[in-house]
Amino acid sequence: MDAARYARIRELFLDAEEQPTDQQISFVHSKAGDDHELVDEVLSLLSEHDAESARREGELAKPVRPPMMATTPTPKPADSDYDLDSDYDLDSAYDSGSNPADLDRIVHAVGPTADPTADPTAGPTVGQSTSRDKEPKQRQGKNLDSTITLQSNQRTHASPRFGDETTKAPQPRNSFWDRRTRRNQRLNSGWLWLAAVLPTALIGSWTYVQVATSQREAKQKELSGLADSVTLSTKGFLDDRAALVESWSRQLAVRQSILELVEIAKQDAPSEELKKAAQTELIRSQLQELSGFSDVKYTVWDRAGTTLASWIPDKSDVGTSIAPDGAANLSRVMRGERVLFGPTRLPRDESGQAPDTELPVMAHMVPVRNTNDLIVAALMVRGIDTFKDFDQMFNEVSETSGLDVYSVDRRGVMITNSPNAVTAANRVELELMPEKIAANLRVSDPGFTIRPSNVGKILRSALPLTISVASATTGKPDVRVQEYNNYVGVPVVGAWRWNEQWQIGVLVEHDAAKAFAPARIVRFSFLILGSLLTLTAFLAARQIAKQTSRAHAAVHPLSRYELISELGSGGMGVVYRARHRQLGRETALKVLRDDRRSGDDRMRFDREARLAASLSNPHSVMIYDYGRSEEGEAFCVMEFLRGITLYEIVSRSGYQEIGRVLLILRQICDALAEAHNMSLLHRDIKPQNVMLSLDPSVGDWAVVFDFGLAKPLNSELGSFQTAETVWAGTPMYMAPERYREPGGMDPRSDIYSVGCIAYFLLTGRPPYMECDPETLFALVLSEAPVAMNIHRGEELPAAIVDLVDRCMAKDPEDRFTTVEDLSAVVDELRSDYPWSTDNARKWWEIHGE
């Protein structure tokens, strides 16, 4: 979900929520028009939204504006904060695993912003607002206090759902087991229902599977065969054109003229001599005769990159050096390769003169050899309709096959005029005019189907390439009969190939709805029949199996744990504070939610537990147990962390001492070093995901948790891989390259987030504070954060500033290469800025446990 889509959903949800309950559905339909996906998402939010719970949660939320320096003790925190899920907070609404149905918590989970010294019994003061009256102000475009921005952006799964210890947290209801008993009752009734419709379901499923499998196999062969055929045709076409141009370079008069120009270039003041040389016109006339084109254009360079001759009448470029972006191609030609230039659109020259053609330019560069067979020059020829013939070849295949067949370059830019893209442009579903598509359109995935109403909201340079183009441009040929989005957001299936010699990709795609229409008809027919049988079976099954023995709980895997309280609920699971009945050890028990039991959800839940369990560093959260019940209930038993997050540390006492910050960074680096050495990235390092407590022996003790977004660097490690089509993580702490390439895997992205934590601890503020996601993205991508001394009110040592700046460098190449390198620098600095156990103990005596 991109920022624009999120804003649209949020706006419509807030408007609908203010309507009377019986009018909400019709209101949503009237506002959403024909956007059925928007209707489904907003109605899903409304169905799960509990306005009273949201109001109560907002009233109990803690003030979060961090004071610059606190002088009085603050109440102790609730016992623990826990990993619920990244889609529990506002920033992680962009997580690839987030569920739009959870946005109701996002919209109303922000509590009032209050002065820490204010009377808690008093009403709202200036700068305070509840979550209910804050939202309309934001929608009216008024400037709100920055504390509201901070509070909404810092909301996280690590934030407790209930207030401080003065507010009694609700105890777990006895219905924890009752819900499972009722589900067992439904399962018993379900078996009876299944028995009634089983024959029809089996026949229908078998028929559908056979038809769908047959169709997929046939479509796979069709796409793969056509992709191979077009790839061979493309290679043959380009090989033939290159061989033709090279044969011209060997023609006696052309070669001799070029060799004479090479000799002239070796004389003193060669520019004037080259401009007067008669060989230039001889080469032109020979190429015109050989090619049959009167408007043929050419350029000749020597080995040094000096232009010896060209088609330009005034010869203004003769004697100049080849453009920097063409030097690499010239080098390849001098090694004996044939090089393809373009297709590309020529820019205006330095004087503003328009190029000689509005069409993309496509040309071949070939070596010129002397009588000793040594390469002494390079010849480039265009103006012989190379692009026109190349484009026509693809258009003919598209029209004949009825599929979308086009070509892309290494950047993922479409270099031919795809008939489908031209049609979309004519329907105003593309941001380009039809004649501007070739060599202009970046084939990126918009994330939704583009309509004329939202075409102006697409910023393709910030979007990831489509699955097919991303794979093709990395040299990975494949055929995919699972749906993916094309450049206008339409689900398609396709095949792709890459020609390494000419650096061109070939793609063949087919609208998924049309490709598998027969299978859908079969499925629809059996669904109608199954619905009729289901209705009959349901009426009979509801009268059977009304009770199930609650003794089942005694043998349930979770019966070993006594539930003490519910800590919170996120997008994937519910976390309870629990105690092992035999050992007496307190734990955090995370149970997969009843409505999140799809195959992907279970595999993602498994992945998080397995990845976290593979870590043994004492600064990483410890996993005690994991398993599933017979009913498929997945659970994970984790270490119960006592303490407060780094975000709450700053909320209580403002910016921190340099020595303490270095100690915390060193412990975070220990946890990340182990993960990185196991080829595992955390991807969501932020103050809310680091718990700090007081250890009697070493003082401050940091623990990194929430591996819900962690991902292996090596995709072959055997763990479940989530799809990367949108951003995953918390935007204000996420490295810039993660916006440009969400699926990019680089340990230096975690190092950037560590730098953001250092900035937050040293200044008491996040590096970037913006309500508007698009503005926040732009700041992270292009702007440096405010200097730390401005927030802190004092100058920081240059070594500390350099450390943070290097971690938060926009270019990954400018950051520390590994976490170990960062740790080494931190160790050097810690000797100059000590933070002892006594220092930590004094802080905890004043500000917390």
Which helix (H) or strand (E) covers residue 427, if one does?
Answer: none
655: nearest Cα among 733, 574, 764: 764
Give CA torsion, residues 63, 64, 68, 70, to 10 deg: 50
Residue 377 to residue 330: CA distance in whole angstroms: 9
Residue 472 to residue 492: CA distance in whole angstroms: 16
**How many of the other CB atoms lie within 10 Å of CB of 793?**
10
Q: What is the residue-wise DSSP string for 445-494? A: --SS---TTTGGG--GGGSPBPHHHHHHHTT--EEEEEEEE-TTS-EEEE
151: nearest Cα among 118, 122, 109, 99: 109
Hey, which bits of 127-170 come out as E strands?
A: none
Q: What is the residue-wise DSSP string for 12-31? A: HHHHHHTS-GGGHHHHHHHH
Per residue in 615-631, is it b (16+ CB within 10 Å) or e — as a string? bebebbbbbbbbeebee
Residue 111 CB partners (closer than 8 Å, separation 6+):
57, 58, 59, 60, 61, 62, 63, 130, 131, 151
**How many of the other CB atoms lie within 10 Å of CB of 188?**
16
Residue 582 to residue 559: CA distance in whole angstroms: 11
Residue 443 to residue 745: CA distance in whole angstroms: 22
List residues bridging with 414 in a β-sheet.
Answer: 408
* Single-letter amino acid, residue 430: L
> What separation, in Å, do the N-terminal and C-terminal C-alpha atoms of the chain show?
40
Residue 627 to residue 639: CA distance in whole angstroms: 16
Residue 637 to residue 578: CA distance in whole angstroms: 9
Residue 443 to residue 461: CA distance in whole angstroms: 10
Residue 578 to residue 576: CA distance in whole angstroms: 6
Residue 684 falls in the annotated catalytic set: yes
CA atoms within 13 A on the CB side of 194: 7
Q: How far is CA 754 from the centre of its chain?
A: 19
Residues in the chain: 849
Residue 616 CB partners (closer than 8 Å, separation 6+):
674
Residue 705 to residue 327: CA distance in whole angstroms: 50
Which residue in the list 684, 700, 706, 750 is annotated as catalytic? 684
Whether 767 and 760 have beta carbons less than 8 Å apart is answered as: yes
Is 590 annotated as ligand-binding? Answer: yes
Token pair 């028990």 is found at 589
**How many of the other CB atoms lie within 10 Å of CB of 210?**
12
What are the binding residues for ATP? 590
What are the binding residues? 590
Residues catalogued as catalytic? 684
